[in-house]
Structure 1
Amino acid sequence: MAAAIARTATTWDDAPVALLDGLQQSALCELQTLLQDGTAFALESHFKFLADTAGSQFAAKVGAGIAHLYMDALGYAWRANAICLSSTLDPHADFIYGGGNASGHGVVLAEAHGSFARDASAAKIVNAAKRKYIKQVKPYVAKSSPFGAIIHGYSVAFGSKPTVAGSFLAVSETQISKLRKRTPPPSAPPRDVPLEGTPASMALATHRSNFLLMGAPDISDWIDWVRLPDSAPPERSDVPFLRLNYAGRTYLAASPRLPRLGGPPWWIEDFFDHHYWWRFAPRARLSPSCHPGSDFGWFVIEEKAGAEFLNALSGVIGDRGVGPPATMRLPTVEPTGFALSARDRIAEPDADEPYQYALFRDGLALLGEPFRGRLRDLVVWSPNEGMSTG
């Protein structure tokens, strides 16, 4: 939930990085303050002290996080803000998603709704999902968007009573008409379906948010530069990443820029015990104003997913004169830590205790216990040359 809310809080394609960083930190602070830990969704008792507008805003953030978990579990790996659908105040869905069953055909819309009301019920949440779909999704289905044709839409509504553990979830989506089966004539050769890449604009928007959450704003700055023709180029300096093993996979993490002690490139075996790590490691724990001593974990990215995107980004930087490509061929991974069924998919490779983490389809992960990871080495991304061993 924490990772999903942070992701949706930073899905604004053109908003300044500093603003998005503040929004996601605020969202995580609220989440930690207002939600109870446990197997069932429940609000803390002091939720009742929030003003009506503050409570509604928090419910909307949680609803957006739930919607993102649902869409990722359905197979949609790439996302962007749907503000591009209208330049007026006309209501529209919150997010545009790509990948999954929409690959090669277009993109889908997703509207998110959250409600924490004393009279919340399954019937009311179902009605909210239907109402939001009709008003904010249906008018845009079969229309065009900057990321491709909108071929389908979802409205995901989530609700809970402030004083009772448990929640309600409902989804309304575009109805799919069943086509009659037709037998092709014997002379008609079978048609090959071409493998389509991810719309480049959507991949860039997704990873802009990902590397911001990881604490690698240099990457977000380069993404902005290739997306915005009139922007000034960032400094062409290398960006180091830590490579670590965790729960049977290898991940890349933003490397804190620590004082160098002289000699060869800085390294330290007991990195996690170094006092600078607690100050500089991105998202390792919240700021002192948000419950000192508590943490959500560390945002990282699966190595193959991260490295292939960064190499593709270097290619776009080198070819900026001709503009970004229409598509990018990027890998995806099977999500871990959440599912549409009651059974969570949590890896347990040779461990007494399950690893606590969430891995999303595009490769971004939130490691709840980064101390269990084993640091391997340092790798470096160059705007000009791509990924290389440090």
Structure 2
Amino acid sequence: MNGLISTAGLGVSNKSVGLTRHTKHRHVPSPVTPNFVAPQIQPSLSFKPIALAAAIARTATTRENAPAALLYGLQLSALIELETLLQDGTTFALEPYFEFLADTAGSQLAAKVGAGIAHLYMDALGYAWRANAACLSSALDPHADFIYDGGNASGHGVILAEAHGSFAKDTTAAKVANAAKRKYVKQVKPYIATPSLFGKVIHGYSIAFGSKPTAAGSFLAVSETRISKPRKTAAAPMKVSQATTRLQGTSAPMILATHRSNFLLMGIPEITNWIDWLSSRDTTIPERDAVVFLRLQYAGRTYLAAPPWLWRSDSPPWWIEDIFYRPDWRRVARRARLTSSRHHPGLDFGWFAIEEKAGVEFLNALSSAIGGGERQVPGSMDLPTFEPTGFGLNGGEPLLRGEAEEAYQYALFRDGLALLGDAFRGQPSGVVVWSPDGGAVLG
């Protein structure tokens, strides 16, 4: 496993998907938690193909109990399908040979793309942290896909989100809207105001996306919990007992679930092993080896990524000097990566990495939770978040901030995870070494 994926066939054109239907559903009480205000729904979602690719990979790996090797395979297959079947251009469209897929394969791809679109929309709304919603009910009961925290939900509870995708020949705006409403009623509404491992569910969304495989264009519908307007006469302030006061920051299980997926995508299994150990008392304590991260300057920020000398297990490690002091380091790094049996020479690759401040603060929090092997997991963690790059609502904000679009193709999510387009445009600037006991230290 590694942190690179092929992005050769994704294209670079900004795509815009208009909101074709927005429906609100009543709930009592409203709001579920006093003072919660849902973010305003915007009329369109804009994104770069690389952002959709990253979102699909993230949703494919948000399964806390699944083996890392399985999740890696799922996200890799989803991205290969996307780069093969997504047309370039400003309008969402599938390649004509989509029709040669079997019905089940087409439905599965639509579900993956629908999940990716839903994740882009939720992240753009301000919700930064995510986990799988399987904890809400048994496998026999229908439930929504994901639970979110952050943004407007911070300090109030968690948000439930259901995703749906359809690439049927008879897809219409009305059918997509009906799917969003139907799935809200069946898979979101029953769980509003219920407790979960990550906090009380205070709001919900059902996001449906559809496109005809024979025509360019798409449909996006959102159903969400209605929040009643406050009465003109102010009600007496609610007394909240100390036992029900929500902790500052985000619940530690939510943070751990998010970063399990993140570090899996980055190709750093040592971190996912420690997260699994913290989450389950049945697992064996991992090896206490140090983990080396490469510091990479890219598009005006510093990121942490799996270092190139870990990309190939059949060759000896590279010395740090081999990277930092060779004028042709990009060519050498490309050659080492592209001779791997997983890919063919000549492809362009995206590199999963995490913004340095976000990565270092989480790694230090992880060391504190490990507690020398005593498992001292706090109730919550307070970590930085960022404005997303590469996607946004309403098309009003630039998809890339601070750098020329033609210079960099990348996507940055609110929790700090990024998919860097041509990672070799970046400049290495040292290493960060993390140890379970000592935390993250600049090497």
The answer, yes or no, to whether TM exceeds 0.5 is yes
Alignment of structure 1 residues 240-255 onto 2, 5 Å: 240-255=292-307
Alignment of structure 1 residues 337-356 onto 2, 5 Å: 337-343=390-396, 345-347=398-400, 349=402, 351=404, 353-356=406-409
Match of 1:273 in 2: 330
Alignment of structure 1 residues 138-157 onto 2, 5 Å: 138-157=189-208
Alignment of structure 1 residues 201-350 onto 2, 5 Å: 201-257=253-309, 259-260=316-317, 267-270=323-326, 272-273=329-330, 275=332, 277-280=334-337, 287-288=342-343, 293-318=346-371, 321=374, 323-343=376-396, 345-347=398-400, 349=402
Evaluate the alpha carbon distance shift between residue 125 and residue 223 of structure 1 in structure 2; reply closer, same or farther with a 3 A threshold. Answer: same
Which amino acid in 2 is paired with 1:254?
A: A
Q: Give deviations 1:189-214, integer Å, cap 9, x for gaps.
A: xxxx9871111001000000001101
In 1, distance between residues paired with 2:189 and 2:212?
29
In 1, distance between residues paired with 2:306 and 2:69?
17
Determine whether 1:11 maps to 2:68.
no
In 2, distance between residues paired with 1:194 and 1:132?
29
Determine whether 1:108 maps to 2:159.
yes
Which amino acid in 2 is paired with 1:269?
A: Y
Match of 1:190 in 2: none
Which amino acid in 1 is paired with 2:309?
A: R
TM-score scaled by structure 2? 0.80
Match of 1:164 in 2: 215
In 2, distance between residues paired with 1:96 and 1:21?
21
In 2, distance between residues paired with 1:205 and 1:227?
9
Q: CA deviation at 1:256?
A: 3.2
Which amino acid in 2 is paired with 1:333?
A: F
In 2, distance between residues paired with 1:79 and 1:103?
13
Evaluate the alpha carbon distance shift between residue 70 and residue 295 of structure 1 in structure 2; reply closer, same or farther with a 3 A threshold. Answer: same
| Contact 2:372 2:436 (8 Å CA) reproduced | no
| Contact 1:129 1:172 (8 Å CA) reproduced | yes
| Contact 1:227 1:324 (8 Å CA) reproduced | no
Match of 2:436 in 1: 383
Match of 1:50 in 2: 101
In 2, distance between residues paired with 1:334 and 1:166?
28
Match of 2:121 in 1: 70
Q: CA deviation at 1:382?
A: 1.1
Residue identity over aligned pairs, in percent, reads: 66
Which deviates further from its counterpart, 82-91 or 165-174?
82-91
Match of 2:11 in 1: none
Q: CA deviation at 1:371?
A: 2.3
In 2, distance between residues paired with 1:268 and 1:213?
25
In 1, distance between residues paired with 2:100 and 2:262?
33
In 2, distance between residues paired with 1:352 and 1:312?
35
Which amino acid in 1 is paired with 2:187?
A: Q
Evaluate the alpha carbon distance shift between residue 195 and residue 231 of structure 1 in structure 2; reply closer, same or farther with a 3 A threshold. Answer: closer
| Contact 2:158 2:198 (8 Å CA) reproduced | yes
Match of 2:170 in 1: 119
In 2, distance between residues paired with 1:383 and 1:343?
43
Evaluate the alpha carbon distance shift between residue 272 and residue 36 of structure 1 in structure 2; reply closer, same or farther with a 3 A threshold. Answer: farther
| Contact 1:285 1:293 (8 Å CA) reproduced | no
Which deviates further from its counterpart, 33-42 or 168-177?
33-42
Evaluate the alpha carbon distance shift between residue 243 and residue 78 of structure 1 in structure 2; reply closer, same or farther with a 3 A threshold. Answer: same
Q: Give deviations 1:38-80, integer Å, cap 9, x for gaps.
A: 2111101110011111111110000000000000001111111
| Contact 1:247 1:347 (8 Å CA) reproduced | no
| Contact 1:79 1:202 (8 Å CA) reproduced | yes
Match of 1:131 in 2: 182
TM-score scaled by structure 1? 0.91
In 2, distance between residues paired with 1:182 and 1:232?
58
SS at match of 1:153: strand
In 2, distance between residues paired with 1:246 and 1:18?
29
Determine whether 1:90 maps to 2:145.
no
- Structure 1, unaligned stretches of length 5 or more? 186-192
Match of 1:361 in 2: 414
